[in-house]
């Protein structure tokens, strides 16, 4: 693949790079970085600053009256995000809410949906789950009086493989499993799990099925309602480009709404119409809003709203199509250099089994050392997961074919050929 070929592809298949602020490069031959860490922290949409300042200015000019009179009134502000968030994950508006952070939402949802008994108490996760998910489920089992080393079932790929097979997940879903909680797209390998098949199998085994969509939301099309998922949670700072520590999202299937499942409650979990009657007993709505505990932070909602509106305009289907093309180009380019180097692709080759990510196992040195070289010498930002995995995420909104060409050229120069 040549640089001119990459430029031609960008002309024929442009993304929306002009809508984003691209960081300057520290090294290399180009003024801006080739950014492949959007699966860790997405880049800032240019509209974010102006729209956040509008919300801040309402505070300055209106004070408390901004709750009703701001450009975007604060009292119902979170409702502005409900529609676009639900469309992004394939849910009903009543099933979706933007609130808190990812792990907080997982805990609040497990209060409702992890209800173990002496016979059915185990939680199934993948062995390569993101650490915070491991911490969360272990603490939940411990809170309920179980030994987490016994109650948490960690699924590993088959010997010599890097990714879980759907059949291996389904095989472990026995009568002792209370909850299945897997990552929709695995953070380490980029594998896209078969969410509908695993959800159906979990239900057939009598378990509740939830999904951590941190690496799936804004990355791949989702149909949470139609797939009959019980609950899900996701963050907004990766593919959703809402800023570090941005507010997260949560989904609860409509069959659970208005039911008597246990749930923590607070100021914002009661009906909006009666919130200021100041009654002692909550009257939760038959929607995911009932899982809200505190009033939402307006200036944290603002960047999420800006991002979700962008996804609404472009469409996740359009982005997924470009993602498949862009990732395939990167894979094809990598194939030209991998055989002669101590690098191994561990992401599934099938486009239907992966998101916008290719992960490489480093055979010599550490991933961190290689990532530092790529950044400082070549202006390519990738994400390292120690000790030996380098992750490249060609994000269809702002990544380019030229970025992919740069990444492969940099790897070819930074990783020596094997003898």
Q: Report which of 34, 12, 16, 21 is spatially closest to residue 404, judged by C-alpha positions.
A: 34
Please state the rounded mean pLDDT for residues 151-168: 97
Mean of the pLDDT values across residues 46-52? 98
Q: What is the band of 365 on the pLDDT scale with cuts at 50, 70, 90?
A: confident
Averaged pLDDT, 282-286: 93
CATH code that applies to domain 3-45+315-414: 3.90.1150.10
Q: Is 230 exposed, middle or buried (0-12, 13-18, 19+ CB in 10 A)?
A: buried
* CATH class of the 76-314 domain in this structure: alpha beta
| DSSP code of residue 277 | G
CA 239, CA 247: separation in Å to the nearest integer? 13
3-state SS, residue 244: coil
The rounded mean pLDDT for the chain is 96
> Domain-by-domain residue ranges, the chain?
3-45+315-414, 76-314
Q: How far is CA 193 from CA 26, 154, 204, 245, 271, in A?
A: 36, 15, 18, 25, 36
Instruction: Give the pLDDT confidence score for residue 275 in this predicted structure.
Output: 86
| Percentage, residues of the chain above pLDDT 90 | 95
Over 90: is that where the pLDDT of 300 sits? yes
Phi–psi pair at 118, nearest 5 degrees: -60, -30
Question: Does the pLDDT of residue 364 top 90, yes or no?
Answer: no
Q: Which residues of 2-27 are buried (b: 16+ CB within 10 A; e: fewer)?
A: eeeebeebbeeeebbbebbebeebee
Q: Give the tens place of pLDDT for each residue, 62-109.
A: 999 999 999 999 999 999 999 999 999 999 999 999 999 999 999 999
pTM for the predicted model, two decimal places = 0.96
CA distance 347 to 166: 15
Q: At 56, is the pLDDT very low, low, confident or very high (cuts 50, 70, 90)?
A: very high
């Amino acid at each position: 693949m040549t640089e001119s070929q990459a430029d031609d592809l960008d002309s024929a298949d442009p993304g929306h790079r002009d809508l984003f602020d691209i960081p300057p490069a520290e090294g290399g031959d180009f003024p801006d970085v080739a950014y492949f860490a959007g699966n860790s922290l997405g880049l800032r949409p240019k509209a974010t600053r102006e729209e956040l300042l509008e919300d801040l200015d309402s505070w300055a000019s209106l004070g408390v009256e901004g709750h009703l009179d701001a450009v975007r009134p604060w009292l119902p502000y979170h409702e502005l995000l409900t529609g676009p968030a639900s469309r992004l994950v394939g849910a009903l508006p009543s099933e979706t809410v933007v609130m808190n952070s990812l792990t907080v939402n997982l805990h609040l949802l497990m209060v409702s949906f992890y209800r173990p008994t002496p016979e059915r108490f185990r939680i199934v996760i993948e062995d390569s789950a993101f650490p915070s998910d491991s911490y969360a489920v272990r603490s939940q089992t411990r809170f309920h009086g179980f030994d987490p080393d016994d109650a948490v079932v960690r699924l590993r790929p088959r010997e010599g493989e890097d990714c879980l097979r759907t059949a291996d997940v389904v095989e472990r879903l026995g009568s002792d499993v209370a909850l299945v909680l897997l990552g929709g797209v695995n953070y380490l390998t980029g594998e896209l799990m078969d969410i509908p098949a695993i959800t159906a199998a979990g239900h057939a085994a009598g378990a509740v099925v939830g999904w951590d969509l941190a690496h799936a939301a804004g990355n791949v099309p989702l149909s949470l309602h139609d797939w009959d998922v019980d609950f899900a949670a996701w963050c907004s700072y990766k593919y959703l480009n809402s800023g570090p520590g941005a507010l997260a999202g949560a989904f609860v299937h409509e069959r659970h709404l208005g039911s008597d499942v246990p749930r923590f409650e607070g100021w914002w979990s009661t009906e909006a119409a009666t919130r200021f009657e100041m009654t002692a007993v909550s009257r939760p709505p038959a929607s995911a809003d009932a899982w809200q505990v505190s009033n939402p932070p307006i200036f944290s909602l603002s960047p999420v709203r800006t991002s979700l509106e962008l996804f609404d305009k472009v469409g996740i289907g359009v982005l997924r199509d470009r993602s498949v093309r862009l990732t395939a180009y990167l894979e094809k380019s990598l194939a030209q250099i991998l055989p002669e180097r101590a690098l191994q692709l561990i992401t599934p080759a099938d486009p239907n089994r992966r998101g916008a990510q290719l992960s490489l196992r480093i055979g010599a040195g550490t991933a961190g050392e290689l990532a530092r070289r790529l950044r400082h010498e070549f202006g390519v930002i990738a994400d390292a997961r120690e000790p030996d995995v380098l992750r490249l995420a060609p994000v269809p909104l702002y990544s380019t074919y030229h970025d992919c060409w740069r990444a492969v050229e940099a790897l070819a120069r930074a990783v020596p050929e094997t003898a």
